[in-house]
């Protein structure tokens, strides 16, 4: 048995050297990236001068309507710039003034952020006239009138007047009223079909990640209940929806109906490449009174900022996918709160995450101590376990298991205690998996060579695509994988090898796990990779301190011997396990006796 002779200097030095190498590589790539950015900036200025003299051309919105016949009107405040088109009387452009979109050409977030632009949104109210002809307001030509912060779009159809009245309000809100007069003379319908076709624009760097976060979201039951749908189709024909929206990674376009949408259904399809991520089609009915359509709606074109979403009091905060139940509560009331406190110190986002990681590790340190103490106890009683395995090598597996459990019981070792750290880490991991790519405060925040901690860093670009990896390698993901591998090697030393043929070698599986983790992290938020790099580096330091400073194998051995002398009382779990094993053994013996009689 080895005794604790103090800190293993070789291990400490090796780990310190490895950390220095990793940090050195990171700084090297950072300096290289800065030089490339300076060159790109010079090229960009040259391009801007060249493009300044180019004239833009208006696109033909509808082949049946000439561009000159289409009029536009504009409203703006500090949050939104909104354009309205006379074709359909609908919103034709929405820019969020305080945010920028990612530019794939410059690898920077330097583009105006448009939720609606270039006809990616198309909506209207559809009904039938008395001859059965289908009429949709999106095909009618309206005349715009601007009055302060309001635009009135007016259309005439066979003597009926249809008005869309838009009023731009604070907090990313656009009030939308529909008023008709004389519509009852041309239709007998008692409801109108609201049809909304919406193509989600690619606004972020991580296309696959943003695409996976784009989905339908909606509330019903007087705003109390919320649901979402990221699948191919959505059907809510029995519920009256208070609002329906299309959510993206950090932004959402939502329309609220004061009297609700009924018989709602929709579908969505991925777009594999280009400026759009997904195509959404929604259809729901709104009530008409006396065949007149007089309904109130509200459009929201908003960032998914939790305090803002909660301020509406319409269950919009559920749009932010922070996880269900305990996971969501952990993100809302701990990680977001903790990030805000540390960020108030004036640290950059990357160092805020660094400090967050240390605090989380300090909170979990008592659990880690128990885990490593159990590991040390397992190491001390390993010879006794090996004796049991050798003694019952050819015996009934049930007897061998009972003998093994008896060794653990006498030594005072609770195997189930080793599961606790893993069980605690699972919800934390999932909470952070939701936190980093959805926390808008991190959007656009760079750290070292990662330009956006909510997207992957692609400093190492590959000349070809690798399945599940893509066309890049994330330095943060690689660094994280290395420290996870080191941590795995350090913690798997006491793991027993399989005693029976055909059983998997758990050590090999544990070594494979960090490699597979690279494929997951390579396209995930770099903030997540940075967190787990720091977390596992701290884990390694904690292991070294606990193993060589705090724990003493000689004392642990003496404690185990003392435990063996004490009378043992079985816990409920141990008693239940023993009874189950005895019952199974009796059934096996009875079965063998019956077989002999036959």
Higher pLDDT among residues 503 and 177, named by residue: 177
Average pLDDT in the 64-78 region? 76
Phi, psi (5° rounding) for residue 344? -65, -15
Statement: residue 496 has pLDDT above 80 = no
Compute the average pLDDT of residues 151-157: 91
Phi, psi of 84 (to 5 degrees): -120, 140
- pLDDT for residue 373 is more than 70: no
Residue 41's pLDDT band (boundaries 50, 70, 90)? very low
What is the predicted pLDDT for the residue at 588? 61
Q: Which residue has the higher pLDDT, 5 or 144?
A: 144
pLDDT of residue 361: 84
Q: 51 burial class (0-12, 13-18, 19+ CB within 10 angstroms)?
A: exposed
Model confidence over 8-26: pLDDT tens digits?
A: 444 445 545 555 555 554 5
Q: Name the band, by pLDDT with cuts 50, 70 and 90, for residue 3.
A: very low
Phi/psi for 571 (5° steps) reads -75, 165
Residue 116, C-beta contacts closer than 8 angstroms, at least 6 positions apart: 91, 92, 93, 94, 253, 301
What pLDDT is recorded for position 114?
94
pLDDT class of 498 with cuts at 50, 70, 90? very low
Angle (nearest 5°) at CA 587 between 585 and 589: 70
In degrees rounded to 5, what are phi and psi of residue 147? -140, 95
The answer to whether residue 522 scores a pLDDT higher than 50 is yes
* Portion of the chain with pLDDT greater than 70, in percent: 67
**Per-residue pLDDT at 306:** 92
pLDDT at 235: 87
Number of Cα atoms under 13 Å in the Cβ half of residue 231: 7
Average model confidence (pLDDT) across the chain: 77
The CA distance from 550 to 114, in Å, is 57
Statement: residue 67 has pLDDT above 80: no
Label residues 511-549 b or e (16+ Cβ within 10 Å = b).
eeebeebbbebbbbbbbbbbbbbbbbbbbbebbbbbbbe
Residue bearing the bigger pLDDT, 34 or 593: 593
Average confidence (pLDDT) over 127-140: 87
* Proportion of the chain above pLDDT 90, given as a percent: 27
* Residue 269 clears pLDDT 80, i.e. is over it: yes
Burial class (CB in 10 A: 0-12, 13-18, 19+), 593: exposed
Q: What is the pLDDT of residue 11?
A: 45
Distance CA 461, CA 29 (A): 12
Give the model's confidence band at 464: pLDDT under 50 very low, under 70 low, under 90 confident, else very high. Answer: confident
Higher pLDDT, 404 or 163: 163
- Residues 171-186 pLDDT 10s: 999 999 999 898 888 8
| Residue 311 in this model has a pLDDT that exceeds 60 | yes
pLDDT at 508: 63
Tell me what the mean pLDDT of segment 557-565 comes to. 55
Q: What is the pLDDT of residue 94?
A: 94
Q: What is the mean pLDDT of residues 302-314?
A: 93
Q: Over 80: is that where the pLDDT of 365 sits? A: no
Mean pLDDT value across residues 197-224:
89
User: Quick one: average pLDDT of 425-443?
Assistant: 85
Please answer whether residues 196 and 234 qualify as being in contact, where contact means their C-beta atoms are separated by less than 8 angstroms: no
Alpha helices by DSSP H, listed for 105-169, are none
For residues 97 and 115, is the Cβ–Cβ distance under 8 A? Answer: no
Confidence class for position 362, pLDDT limits 50, 70, 90: confident
Report the relative pairing of strands 460-466 and 470-473 from DSSP bridges: antiparallel
- Give the chain's radius of gyration (CA, Å): 32
Residue 137: burial class (beta carbons within 10 Å; 0-12, 13-18, 19+):
buried
Q: Residue 389 has what pLDDT?
A: 64
What pLDDT, on the 0 to 100 scale, is given for residue 173? 94
Q: Any residues with CB less than 8 A from the CB of 589 and at least 6 apart, and which?
A: none
Tens-digit pLDDT profile for residues 108-126: 888 999 999 988 999 999 9
User: In the structure, what pLDDT confidence band is assigned to residue 499 with cuts at 50, 70 and 90?
Assistant: very low
Least confident of 31-35, 147-151, 382-386, 460-464: 31-35
Looking at the predicted structure, is the pLDDT value of residue 502 above 70? no
Nearest to 298 by CA among 196, 177, 217: 177
Taking phi first (over 0 means left), then psi (-120 to 50 degrees means alpha), and beta for anything else, what does residue 291 get?
Answer: left
Residue 166: what pLDDT? Answer: 96
Question: What pLDDT is recorded for position 587?
Answer: 63
Distances, alpha carbon 285 to alpha carbons 153, 193, 245, 351, in Å = 22, 5, 15, 50
SS3 call for 270:
strand
pLDDT-based confidence at 488, cuts 50/70/90? confident
pLDDT at 560 over 90: no
CA 411 to chain centre: 44
In angstroms, the CA 388 to CA 161 distance is 91
pLDDT digits (tens, 9 = 90+) for 319-343: 988 887 788 888 888 988 999 999 8
Which pLDDT score is estimated for 245? 92
Question: How high is the pLDDT of residue 261?
Answer: 93
Which overall architecture, per CATH, does domain 67-321 show? Distorted Sandwich (2.70)
CA proximity to 405, closest of 571, 565, 552? 571
Residues with Cβ < 8 Å from 302, sequence gap 6 or more?
Answer: 171, 172, 251, 252, 254, 308, 309, 316
> In the chain, where are the structural domains located?
9-27+329-442+528-574, 67-321
pLDDT, residue 243, reads 94
CB 256 within 8 A of CB 139: no
């Amino acid at each position: 048995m080895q005794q604790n002779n103090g800190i293993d200097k070789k291990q400490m030095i090796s780990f310190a050297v490895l950390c220095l190498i990793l940090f050195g590589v990171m700084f090297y790539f950072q300096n290289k990236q800065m030089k490339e950015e300076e060159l790109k900036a010079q090229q960009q200025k040259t391009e801007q001068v060249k493009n300044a003299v180019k004239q833009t051309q208006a696109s033909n919105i509808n082949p049946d309507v000439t561009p000159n016949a289409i009029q536009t009107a504009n409203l703006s405040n500090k949050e939104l710039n909104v354009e309205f088109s006379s074709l359909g009387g609908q919103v034709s452009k929405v820019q969020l003034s305080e945010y920028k979109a990612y530019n794939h050409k410059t690898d920077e977030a330097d583009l105006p952020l448009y939720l609606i632009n270039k006809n990616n949104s198309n909506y209207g109210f559809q009904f039938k006239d008395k001859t059965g002809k289908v009429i949709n307001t999106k095909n009618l030509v309206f005349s715009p009138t601007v009055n302060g912060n309001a635009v009135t779009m007016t259309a005439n159809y066979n003597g009926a007047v249809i008005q869309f009245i838009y009023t731009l309000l604070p907090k990313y809100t656009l009030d939308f009223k529909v008023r008709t007069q004389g519509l009852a003379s041309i239709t007998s319908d008692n409801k109108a079909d609201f049809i909304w076709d919406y193509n989600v624009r690619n606004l972020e760097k991580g296309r696959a990640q943003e695409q996976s976060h784009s989905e339908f979201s909606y509330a019903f039951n007087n705003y109390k209940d919320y649901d979402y749908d990221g699948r191919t189709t959505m059907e809510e024909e029995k519920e009256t929806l208070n609002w329906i929206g299309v959510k993206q990674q950090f932004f959402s376009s939502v329309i609220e109906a004061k009297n609700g949408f009924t018989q709602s259904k929709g579908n969505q399809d991925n777009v594999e490449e280009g400026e759009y991520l997904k195509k959404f089609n929604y259809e729901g009915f709104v009530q008409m009174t006396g065949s007149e359509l007089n309904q109130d709606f509200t459009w929201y074109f908003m960032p998914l900022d939790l305090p803002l979403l909660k301020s509406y009091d319409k269950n919009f905060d559920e749009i932010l996918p922070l996880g269900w139940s305990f996971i969501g509560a952990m993100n809302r009331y701990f990680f977001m709160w903790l990030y805000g406190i540390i960020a108030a110190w004036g640290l950059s986002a990357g160092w805020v995450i660094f400090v967050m990681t240390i605090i989380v590790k300090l909170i979990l340190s008592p659990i880690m101590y128990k885990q490593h103490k159990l590991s040390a106890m397992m190491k001390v009683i390993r010879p006794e376990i090996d004796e049991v395995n050798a003694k019952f090598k050819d015996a009934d597996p049930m007897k061998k298991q009972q003998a093994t459990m008896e060794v653990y019981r006498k030594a005072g070792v609770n195997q189930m205690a080793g599961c606790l750290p893993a069980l605690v880490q699972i919800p934390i991991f999932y909470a952070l998996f939701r936190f980093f790519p959805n926390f808008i405060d991190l959007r656009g925040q760079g750290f070292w060579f990662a330009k956006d901690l909510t997207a992957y860093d692609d400093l190492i670009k590959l000349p070809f695509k690798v399945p599940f990896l893509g066309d890049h390698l994330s330095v943060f993901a690689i660094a994280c994988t290395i420290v996870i591998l080191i941590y795995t090697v350090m913690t798997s030393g006491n793991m027993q090898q399989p005693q029976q043929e055909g059983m998997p070698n758990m050590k090999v599986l544990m070594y494979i796990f960090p490699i597979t983790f690279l494929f997951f992290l390579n396209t995930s938020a770099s903030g997540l990779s940075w967190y787990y790099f720091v977390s596992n580096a701290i884990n390694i330091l904690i292991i070294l301190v606990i193993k060589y400073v705090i724990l003493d194998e000689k004392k642990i051995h003496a404690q185990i011997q003392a435990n063996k002398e004490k009378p043992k009382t079985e816990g409920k779990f141990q008693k239940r396990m023993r009874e189950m094993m005895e019952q199974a053994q009796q059934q096996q013996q009875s079965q063998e006796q019956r077989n002999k009689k036959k």
